[in-house]
A and B are shown apart, each in its own frame.
Chain A
Amino acid sequence: MEINTLDLLALISLVTVATALLVGGQGRGGWQLSLLYLLQLVVVASMVMMAGGEGIISTLQFSTVGESIGWRLDGLGLYFLLITVGTAAFVSFYMAGPWGEAYQRDGGSLRWLQVALATNVFTMLLLLASGDLLSLFIGWELASWAAFWMMALAGGIALKVALRYLIYAMVGAMMVFALIVILYGQAGSFGFDEIREASVQMERGTTILVLLLTVAGFGIKMGLLPFHLWQAPAYAETPGPGSAFLGAISSRLGLFAILLVLFRVVDGAWIELYLGFMNPQTLLAWIAVATIIFPTFTAMRQNDARQLLAWHGIGQGGYMLLGIAMMDPLGVAGGMLHIFNHATYQAALFLAVTAVIYRTQTSDLNHLGGLVVRMPLTFATMLVGIIGLAGLPPMNGFVSKWLVYRSLLEQGEVLLFVGAVIGTLGTILSVYKLLHNTFLGSLRLEHQAVREVPITMWMPMILLSGLILLTGIFPGVPLQWVAEAAASIGLPMPQFNLGGVIAEGGSLDMRVISGVLLSGFAIAALIFYGAGSSRRVNPLDNYAGGHFLYASNRYHYSNNFYAGLMHLIKPWYRGIFERLEQIILLLLAVIADLLQGLYLQRQPGRVALVVLVLLLWWSTL
């Protein structure tokens, strides 16, 4: 039996899990794991180089309960896999050194965290390389449970929010389960091609059901509204680097599966379906915009750095779906490129916040401040990260959002466009608050002795920052991967070059834009520094309200940062989704209690007799 690269990758991935079990707990010893992830990355990269066509089919094929299960990695899976393995490499490197030792000192088990990470990567490989609906579901379930494991590891609150995730994930998984058995019922097979053939003749009702189950079932994982409540708390409570990994890629699996099913497995006829009030495409776009706006403005109100980032993670997922829902070259390119871009800056941001926690033991935005003078590298990472997240040039987040905007402009979708922009503006406000409350303003007394994090931690952060900038200047590189991914599910792509996109009615060349921007900064710097030297004073050497400031004065404007805005929009936060969730749970609880009452009666025979009489009566009909 000849082993191809996919088999090799799976093998290395499994070896990584085993290695994590063996040496994962050894603090600095974890470098072997980083090496293994790098090896995986090399294999994936080599696959990306040679990608195209049918994809790589694993030689490992099962046949169980009369159904064959196989794995095949094509452009789409490869794209997601590249991000997954890449993130894991950064994260494991970060985790293996002093951070891991500190984590163990605080009572965490680094070994199980490493094993959970390796398991997550492996299960995601299984999912991304699924060659039929059965392997898709198996991969889906395993990846979901692996994520649950990672979230629950910390115990306590983390376990509590992970259990909430579990309920959502199970609802999603069961919808997916229904989806695959329904499609199986249509085609008599789990094979993609067979189902595609059969789906051409699917009835309208079935098509709508399939569509609904696909979007809702997989959408829960990516935190689509109204299924988004679980995500932010669950990711935020995951131990540091774990949250970086989950936040970067885990929830994107939902998008992967939606793309796979809607564009590869099921025939594209659903696009033309009319749902009575709008077509599915528009509906998807509106869900996407809602997913952008609500979580973004929820993020703005968070007082915990991790929560804030996690909420933004949900919102950014909306841009991806929005772009893809446009189904034109620019939108698809933007939406899919944003997956990569988001992974890079989200990982960087979570790692930066973790670094802050490592030094200060808190991520409470009201208990930090002024750290830029103590942790400049971490600050730089966060700065690059938030510019990426906010989608401003020259970072990579700008490119993908630009593409999405252009697509919306071309389609004349003004409301969607405005929604997307409101999301971006909200993001800018929110991330500035994050940066300001953590790094700017006055340094607290207890943080005077804080130092920059060790090299094992800042190195991956700085490398990620470099990646964010470089892929911002040369988006053509990731766009090449996106093109392969889009081709494998038959979606269009715009013409692009190394610097950006060439399109009718307005192109983008980030090499030029970044060039003029950086030159602008350079000229401004020349003027500024040419104008004579300035005297550096202590940040506290100023006054406020007619008083000098002292370190003992906590004079950092952080709480309720956007007081004016909140004064206006606070009444708009109705907590409608939380309330909806509570109502559903309450209703269920009432019903459950009533049903439990059936079993708790003094005379259990009463129910039996009633049912007996009813049944006998029915039998005489």
Chain B
Amino acid sequence: MMVVDLLIELLLMPLVAFLVGLVMVLWMRRLGARIQRRVGPPFLQPLYDVVKLFGKETQISHGVLHDIGIIMAMGGYIAAETLLPVPGMDGVAAYGGIITLTYLMMIPSLGLALGVGQCANPNGSIGISRALTAMLAYDVPFVIVVFGVAYHAGSANLIEIIDGQQQAGVAGWGLFEMPLLAIAGLITLQGSLGKQPFEVYVAPAEIATGPMVEMGGKYLGGLFVMQAFQFYTATVLYVSLFLGGGTNWIDLLLKSFLVLTIPVSVAYLFPRYRTEDLVRLLWKWPVMIGLLGVAFVV
């Protein structure tokens, strides 16, 4: 029975993540609309988008690798969700821990990179070059944060990290135990979500020079799904590290949306950094704050 339960969990976790992720996309759009004094899209708009993109008649493939790239981008997150414990479901989190999760979260970016590379469009390649550079930039403070939290908890197992916080009560949350790391984590989150001011590689306003340049139909749909997963994974992970995870789903969702609100709001207030400035900024402030935070922990 155990195996069947686990299998159900493994299927359910990505599914829930996908759905919540779609709502998060909606939340981002609505929030942006509010800030810009617009109405914003209806509730089911993200779902419509997915259905529309996947259902398009004209699907242009630039080769097998183009397909595989998108599959890796989605599949990587589907796998990652099973390592991210949520209320009632631990999935396989005990078999990998946070380091594995961190690495699994890199796979979608690489899948995207492969797919875009196959498209033979120099503008796509430029976008990938920027995206990977950004990854290099935000992953450094990110691993410092992960290190600090894991070291503080005495475990690299996310289940134990969450349990530890929940047992210690609100005061035992990572946010209060390690405020500096929480701040660094927030800045990192901004980078990893690719939100302004760190969104030069996505460059939605000038699509000609971004990874998405050759993407249409289900290819773009795949990336849309990937973004939904990304919102979910990043915010839930942040909640798990600093806000005691979720004791139940409402708790978790509340916290996650709250966390998501911050980068999304910030995004609408800022312009964009150039690639090198992005690296400079992310290697300076969050790294310094993070290291200081770790110094308090160790």
**A residues at B contact (CB < 8 Å):** 370, 372-373, 383, 387, 391-393, 398, 402, 405-406, 409, 412, 414-415, 417-418, 421-422, 425-426, 428-429, 432, 435-436, 439-443, 500, 504-509, 512-513, 516-517, 519-525, 527-529, 531-537, 539-545, 549, 555-557, 561-565, 567-569
By a CB distance below 8 angstroms, the chain B residues around A517 are 75-76, 79, 104, 107
CB contact between A406 and one of B60, B79, B99, B140 (< 8 Å): that residue: B99
| CA A615 to CA B114, docked complex, whole Å | 75
Contact indicator A528/B71 (Cβ below 8 Å): yes
CB contact between A421 and one of B76, B100, B122, B143 (< 8 Å): that residue: B143
**B residues at A contact (CB < 8 Å):** 10, 14, 54-63, 65, 67, 70-80, 82-83, 92, 94-100, 103-104, 106-107, 110, 113-114, 117-123, 125-126, 128-130, 132-133, 135-136, 139-140, 143-144, 147-148, 150-151, 154-157, 160, 208, 214, 217-218, 221-222, 274-276, 279-280, 291, 294, 298
Contact indicator B130/A535 (Cβ below 8 Å): no
For residue B109, which residue of chain A has the nearest CB? A428
Residues A372 and B63 in contact in the complex (CB < 8 Å), given A414-B147, A421-B143: yes
Contact indicator B122/A513 (Cβ below 8 Å): no
Contact indicator A531/B117 (Cβ below 8 Å): no
By a CB distance below 8 angstroms, the chain A residues around B78 are 519-520, 523-524
* Least Cβ–Cβ distance between A181 and chain B, in angstroms: 43
* Least Cβ–Cβ distance between B127 and chain A, in angstroms: 10
* A–B Cβ pairs within 8 angstroms, 30 of them: A393-B100, A414-B144, A418-B140, A421-B140, A421-B143, A429-B133, A432-B128, A436-B125, A440-B125, A441-B125, A506-B97, A508-B100, A513-B83, A513-B104, A516-B10, A517-B107, A520-B74, A524-B70, A524-B72, A524-B73, A527-B54, A532-B54, A533-B59, A534-B217, A535-B58, A537-B62, A539-B118, A544-B122, A562-B133, A564-B274
Most buried by B among A412, A535, A544: A544
By a CB distance below 8 angstroms, the chain A residues around B113 are 432, 436
| CA A541 to CA B119, docked complex, whole Å | 9
By a CB distance below 8 angstroms, the chain A residues around B97 are 406, 506-508
By a CB distance below 8 angstroms, the chain B residues around A532 are 54-57, 59, 218
* Least Cβ–Cβ distance between A318 and chain B, in angstroms: 17
Contact indicator B125/A429 (Cβ below 8 Å): no
| CA A556 to CA B275, docked complex, whole Å | 21
Contact indicator B150/A535 (Cβ below 8 Å): no
Contact indicator B120/A440 (Cβ below 8 Å): yes
Residues A527 and B74 in contact in the complex (CB < 8 Å), given A520-B79, A542-B120: yes
Residues A392 and B139 in contact in the complex (CB < 8 Å), given A436-B117, A531-B54, A557-B126: no
| CA A563 to CA B65, docked complex, whole Å | 25
Residues A564 and B99 in contact in the complex (CB < 8 Å), given A440-B114, A533-B59: no
Contact indicator B75/A508 (Cβ below 8 Å): no
By a CB distance below 8 angstroms, the chain B residues around A569 are 279
* Least Cβ–Cβ distance between B84 and chain A, in angstroms: 11
Contact indicator A409/B151 (Cβ below 8 Å): yes
* Least Cβ–Cβ distance between B154 and chain A, in angstroms: 6
CB contact between B208 and one of A421, A525, A545 (< 8 Å): that residue: A545
- Per CB-CB distance, the 5 closest pairs between chain A and chain B, nearest first, are A564-B275, A440-B117, A534-B59, A520-B79, A506-B156
| CA A432 to CA B95, docked complex, whole Å | 28
| CA A556 to CA B79, docked complex, whole Å | 33
Say what secondary structure dominates the interface of chain B: helix
Say what secondary structure dominates the interface of chain A: helix
CB contact between B129 and one of A372, A392, A504, A562 (< 8 Å): that residue: A562
Contact indicator A565/B275 (Cβ below 8 Å): yes
Contact indicator B274/A535 (Cβ below 8 Å): no
Contact indicator B144/A418 (Cβ below 8 Å): yes
Most buried by A among B128, B133, B135: B133
| CA A364 to CA B67, docked complex, whole Å | 28
Contact indicator A418/B76 (Cβ below 8 Å): no
Contact indicator A405/B99 (Cβ below 8 Å): yes
CB contact between A441 and one of B76, B96, B120, B294 (< 8 Å): that residue: B120
| CA A567 to CA B155, docked complex, whole Å | 39
By a CB distance below 8 angstroms, the chain A residues around B130 are 564
By a CB distance below 8 angstroms, the chain A residues around B106 are 392, 428
* Least Cβ–Cβ distance between A565 and chain B, in angstroms: 4
| CA A175 to CA B76, docked complex, whole Å | 49
Residues A537 and B61 in contact in the complex (CB < 8 Å), given A561-B129, A565-B133: yes
Contact indicator A520/B136 (Cβ below 8 Å): no
Contact indicator A568/B218 (Cβ below 8 Å): no
Residues A525 and B117 in contact in the complex (CB < 8 Å), given A414-B147, A534-B60: no
Contact indicator A564/B276 (Cβ below 8 Å): yes
| CA A132 to CA B70, docked complex, whole Å | 56
Contact indicator B122/A521 (Cβ below 8 Å): no
Residues A508 and B96 in contact in the complex (CB < 8 Å), given A393-B104, A528-B74, A539-B63: yes
Contact indicator A429/B132 (Cβ below 8 Å): yes
Contact indicator B276/A537 (Cβ below 8 Å): no
| CA A531 to CA B54, docked complex, whole Å | 6
Residues A523 and B208 in contact in the complex (CB < 8 Å), given A440-B114, A535-B60: no
By a CB distance below 8 angstroms, the chain A residues around B54 are 527, 531-532
| CA A564 to CA B272, docked complex, whole Å | 14
Contact indicator B279/A565 (Cβ below 8 Å): yes
